[in-house]
Amino acid sequence: MARTPYKLGTRRSPLAMAQAKETCERLRDAHGNIAIEIVPVTASGDRIQDRPLAEIGGKALWTKELDAWLLAGEIDFAVHSAKDVETIRPQEIAIAAVLEREDVRDVLIGAESIASLPQGARIGTSAPRRAAQLLHVRPDCTVAPIRGNVATRLAKLAAGEADATFLAAAGLKRLGDTDTGYPLPTDEWLPAPGQAAILLECRAEDADARALLGIINDPASQRAVIAERALLAALGGDCHSPVAVLTEADGDSLVMRAALFSPDGAERVDDALRFSSDDSEAPARLARILLECAPPAITACFSGPEDGGS
């Protein structure tokens, strides 16, 4: 481990910086007083906030700058929110660790529950999953596109651009805020694939970095996140695809619950599968089950495994 300091790349947003600092703390706890420099970058997704992510390039807008720096050797590893990392990654980049997953729930800001939203409420979100899941149970509501970091979205809500919005409980907690909003129970409202997990990547051939990061990997969280990413890949889902999933450990098994929606929320299919934690093919089986029983309004949002996903 001759490099000093190691360079950890991250987006500049407050939440991304909090995740980078958490990663540094875990690395220093595991390896002693190791020297790590946080190298922030302004991602395209942070610069462009006036349009939905799916319209301007998808999840790659969160990763492309860090990918370029990583492949050029300007940083040694990169930290991401797992839900923001596209499913198909460059072969030269490896997922080296997944940190222990935080609270996976979405938090509703502006009302105590979905049921208590006012009739015809405007809900601020640019996430197809959140919009479709909301409209499925509350078709009277309307969706107002809102993007930006936590502070930006809360400010837009306070300015009256929407009556309510959603944030991730994990993000709020990592920013030191555990009092805002009302967490939605996962038996009623499923999160995004990989939600609440911090994912660390390095160059695939960098054995030193892989070993360094592997020490702080949480195997249970990694298994769940990799399974959810495999489901998304088998579905051929992208940033336009309304898909919700949660994988939880049950003894030596994993239980995956997933739901697919039409963009307007009118259609929903869901199912669950219990499988051995070493069964890497199980997520694809669940994807096939879901797509086989889904109506055209849902299957139109997914390309299937042949075309891949993002």
Contact 189, 106 (CB under 8 A): yes
The residue behind tokens 């809102």 is 146
Q: What is the pTM of this model?
A: 0.91
What single DSSP character describes residue 266? S
If asked whether residues 90 and 16 sit together in one domain, one would say: yes
Residue 224 domain flag: no
Position 130 in a domain: yes
The answer on 82 and 209 residing in a single domain is yes
CATH number of the domain within which 145 lies? 3.40.190.10
Prior bond of 5 cis (ω within 30°): yes
pLDDT in tens, 134-168: 999 999 999 999 878 888 899 999 999 999 999 99
Cα(68)–Cα(270) distance, integer angstroms: 37
Provide the number of structural domains found in the chain: 3
Q: Is 50 a catalytic residue?
A: no
Are 203 and 59 found together in one domain? yes
Residue 161 burial (10 A CB sphere; 0-12, 13-18, 19+): middle
Asked if the structure places residue 149 within a domain, the reply is yes
Whether residue 204 sits in one domain with residue 55: yes
My answer on whether 59 and 90 are in the same domain is: yes
Q: Indicate whether 190 belongs to any domain.
A: no
- 163 and 23 in one domain? no
Per annotation, catalytic residue among 46, 67, 76, 84: 84
Q: Domain check: are 179 and 239 in the same one? A: no
Q: Do 128 and 79 belong to one domain?
A: no
- Answer whether residue 45 is part of any domain: yes
**Is 191 among the domain residues?**
no
- Dihedral angle, C-alpha 180, 15, 301, 225, nearest 10 °: -100
Is 10 found in the same domain as 53?
yes
**What is the full per-residue pLDDT of the chain (310 aa) written as tens digits?**
456 799 999 998 999 999 999 999 999 999 998 999 999 987 554 444 544 544 544 445 668 889 999 999 999 999 999 998 989 899 999 999 999 999 999 999 999 999 999 999 999 999 999 999 999 999 999 999 987 888 889 999 999 999 999 999 999 999 999 888 999 999 999 999 999 999 999 999 999 999 999 999 999 999 999 999 999 999 998 777 999 999 999 999 999 999 999 999 999 999 999 999 999 999 999 999 999 999 999 999 998 764 433 3
Does residue 162 share a domain with residue 15? no
User: Which domain covers residue 147, as residue numbers?
Assistant: 106-183
